Amino acid sequence: MSEEESPRKAVKGYITRISIEEVLNKYGKNKVDFYLCGPEIMTNKLIEDLQYLGISKEKIHRALFLITAQNQANTSQKAQVHAKVFGKSYQFETQEGKTILQSGLDQNIPLPFSCQSGLCGMCKMKCTEGKVMMKSNQVLTEMDIKEGYILTCQSIPQSKSITIKNL
């Protein structure tokens, strides 16, 4: 479970090798099958973790989310980004076709992130100036978006200047 209280004592939080081990220790390796659903990058990582922990391929089942061409931004704008990350200010320019997160990380800007697939919400920041287009969003609510929150891992700039902050 991600945020909600678990109705059946499920493990809460991000899926990690440690949380998988908790499940294995509780139920036993041979009594558990794993059903994975999500984007390829995430499910590949989980399959790698499961196999590392000794789970056979036959016990791993997955469904993939694919990001289709129509979800891809077809216009991008080079933008000057002013970012406040944990109270510290940074400025960087985005590269054409790249997300704000990709451009920032390429220039060693310590933007927060995890999945880079629009699923975990770790890269959530508030956009207080400028416009972006998100390629995908499985995390933000309509209210979040109305309040200006964006996922930087999915955001392609649509204006020349963008201001974002995470706190």
3-state helix, strand, coil in the chain (%, to 5): 30, 25, 45
139 near ligand FES, judged by CB under 6 A: yes
- Binding residue for ligand FES (CB under 6 A) from 34, 65, 90, 113? 113
Please give the structure tokens belonging to residue 82: 């002013």
Q: Give me the amino acid identity at 46.
A: L
Report whether 10 contacts 90 (CB < 8 A).
Answer: no
- Binding residue for ligand FES (CB under 6 A) from 118, 130, 134, 162? 118
122 vs 164, beta carbon nearer ligand FES: 122
59 vs 95, beta carbon nearer ligand FES: 95
50 vs 125, beta carbon nearer ligand FES: 125
Q: What strand order describes the sheet that includes 88-93?
A: 88-93, 80-85, 161-165, 124-129, 149-151
46 near ligand FES, judged by CB under 6 A: no
Residue 47 phi/psi, 5° resolution?
A: -60, -40
Selected range binding ligand FES among 84-92, 102-110, 119-127, 158-166, rule: CB under 6 A: 119-127
Binding site for ligand FES (CB under 6 A): 113-116, 118-123, 139, 151, 153
